[in-house]
Chains A and B, each alone.
Chain A
Amino acid sequence: MLFSKGIRIKHETRMFYMFIGFWIAMFIFINVIPMAYSFYLSLTSYDGLTTPVFVGFSNYLNLLKDYRFTGSILQTIIFTFFNITITLTISLLLANLLSGKIKGQGFFRSVLFLPYAVPIIATVFIWKTLLNRESGLVNMILGSINSSLSLNLLVKFPMASLISLFVWQLGGSMIIFLAGFQNIPSALVEAAEIDGASPSAILIRIKIPLLTPLIMYQIIVGIMLSFSIIVQPILLTSSPGAAFTAFLSQQPPSQNFFTLIYVFQQAFTNQSFGTAMAASWYMLLVMIAISLIFLRLARRFVFYEYE
């Protein structure tokens, strides 16, 4: 009896690794080896063509002295903070608005979700066209109020312009919040309504506490996504060049000069992969550190009973 049970478990284990084995192999091939190689490269001086020369940790030390790099880290953190606060707050409020009893809810939801599906390159040029001084609708409206209000928003307020683009694409987080709102037991909301609680009190005292695990998840995802933004800040403020390297060498305004842009420029414009790799390891550390600090701070606000 015991013996046969042992055989069965062994069979199941074998089956598991038969099904997953290829995934593990590919994970090693596509993630582990390149990451290990990139760590090795971060300890070398490497131009992408000749053999890497081992230089120890000097790339890491030099980066700390490079104010463009440290500045980019700071800008990324500032952007991440505002981007997450603004987009998540709006998407939470929109989801709350749509989760009530509303005719045409499905239609409204679809329209607000649609921009999320729009590919990156399209969103950038839509936004450029919208905020541009010469061709922009926003500028046209501002100018018709008072001609002194008419200015190039993309140049004057680069980070705000960038964040507005992500607000337009908040459909993804909104739809997740919407599903969260719909999973809240209606009895809780009913009881509060009978007691005469206002909709805003219900939102702040009941719904948001119940959604804290979801909000936490969205913030962590938001940190990862905010750190991985590169195409929009570059293309939003500069015109495309003839080749890809030309595109990367364009400088966004200093407000929008993020670490990932620094990393890609080091790699593909300056051909110094060692510096690029060291910078991206720093970036990963900062990302993880921010996430951990946030999780630590948020721990006491999270409502765990409801799952």
Chain B
Amino acid sequence: MNMNKNTDFMALKRSKPGADRGKVLTYVIIIIIVLLFVIPILWLLLSSFKTQSEMVTFPPTFFPQNPQFKNYIDALQKIDYFKYLVNTIVLSLIYTVPGIITTAIFGYGFARFNAPGKKIFFNILMVLLLIPPIAVLIPEYTFFTKLHLVNTYYIWLLWGIAGNPLFIYLFKQFFSYFPKELEEAALLDGCSYMGVLFRIFFPLSKPIIVTVSLLSFLTVYGDFMGPAILLSGDNTTLAVAMANGYVARNGILLTPVLLAGIVLYLIPVILIFVFGQKYYVQGFISSGVKG
């Protein structure tokens, strides 16, 4: 990214008196906006320590009157939290790991070979990139019901190896920057194209592999409608189990416990975001700026 490209210039010439006041104003505005964006998360944290009665009586309290750390224990016990967490992680990995391999193969194919019909298939890929997966969920549901795949994890395996259009596109972009000489030398030495991909390109593709893995993992980790429709009972993921499970025997939603569960659910996402942000953001930008 060329973040400093146009800023160096400005540093040289900006020294007008009015500029300073404008700058302060800019910072004030930005800080207010940043606070507005952070407040919902802080409110979630505060509310997760409140009591059930605090959540349902008017007016709202700002700080928890009597911080309930027990909410977090309840969140782990009221539903079988760890089982659903394991389900979610397993499902994400089933989608991600085999998917990375096939996606790289498809991306390499699109990046390196010219063939009649390529343009058509590439356009199909671009259209698929726009179609939200939920639009085909019910057709897929009726079809998978016929195949007796509903309530199994095979669906996610199929989705994974079918290749997410965004990930195929990201691999294609990444591979097209590799110099042709790199593979030509290997081909002359008798290496196959698959060999080139897995022995030469793959070891050089750490950034894109990390990007796609993170995006892929988070896609399944955060999904709600997919598991809600296609999985049931004990097979379901944390997102669905939490939305359904934190209900008292009399049918009342245990809001603070649910919120505590959500805080725990968010921890991996925040960790991925903080440590993998460089890759995550980069992948995101290259998906959008293709124009």
Contact = CB atoms under 8 A, between A and B. Distances in A.
A273 to B, nearest CB: 6
B225 A230 contact: yes
A190 B7 CA distance: 10
B102 interface: yes
Contacts of A12: 113-115
B267 to A, nearest CB: 11
B34 A186 contact: no
A102 B280 CA distance: 22
Contact of B288 (A30, A122, A179): A179
Q: Is the interface of B mostly helix, strand, loop or mixed?
A: helix
Given A15-B113, A16-B113, A168 B37 contact: yes
B162 A26 contact: yes
A47 to B, nearest CB: 11
Interface in A87-102: 94, 97-98, 100-102
Interface string B148-189: 000000000011011100001000000000000000000000
Given A23-B163, A126-B40, A179 B244 contact: no
Nearest to B108: A19
A281 B105 CA distance: 33
Contact of A140 (B10, B57, B62, B145): B62
Contacts of A235: 243
Nearest to A279: B138
Contacts of A19: 105-106, 108-109, 112-113, 193
Given A186-B9, A247-B228, A176 B288 contact: yes
Interface string B88-124: 0000000000000010011011101111101001001
A231 B158 CA distance: 24
Given A12-B115, A38-B139, A231-B225, A121 B242 contact: yes
Contact of B240 (A173, A220, A244): A244
Nearest to B58: A134
Q: Is the interface of A mostly helix, strand, loop or mixed?
A: helix
A13 to B, nearest CB: 4
Contacts of B10: 100-101, 190
A159 B91 CA distance: 34
A64 interface: no
Contacts of B285: 175-176, 179
Contact of A264 (B138, B139, B145): B138
Nearest to A120: B224
A58 interface: no
Contacts of B210: none
B140 A119 contact: no
A57 B54 CA distance: 54
A26 B163 contact: yes
A97 B29 CA distance: 9
B243 A121 contact: yes
A304 to B, nearest CB: 10
Contacts of A189: 6
B27 to A, nearest CB: 7
Contacts of B258: 125
A175 B284 contact: yes
Contacts of B55: 134-135
Contacts of B118: 16
B1 A97 contact: no
A34 B162 CA distance: 14
Nearest to B272: A117
Nearest to B8: A186
B56 A26 contact: no
A208 interface: no
A12 B187 CA distance: 13
Interface of B: 1-3, 5-7, 9-11, 13-14, 22, 26-27, 29-30, 33-34, 37-41, 43-44, 47, 50, 54-60, 62, 102, 105-106, 108-110, 112-116, 118, 121, 124, 128, 130-132, 134-136, 138-143, 145, 158-159, 161-163, 168, 193, 218, 221-225, 228-229, 232, 239-240, 242-244, 247, 251, 253, 255, 258-259, 262, 265-266, 269-270, 272-273, 277, 280-281, 284-285, 288-291
25 contacts: A16-B109, A19-B105, A19-B108, A26-B161, A34-B142, A41-B142, A97-B30, A98-B30, A100-B26, A108-B34, A112-B34, A119-B218, A119-B223, A119-B239, A121-B265, A122-B44, A182-B6, A183-B289, A193-B13, A228-B132, A230-B225, A244-B229, A247-B228, A267-B138, A280-B135
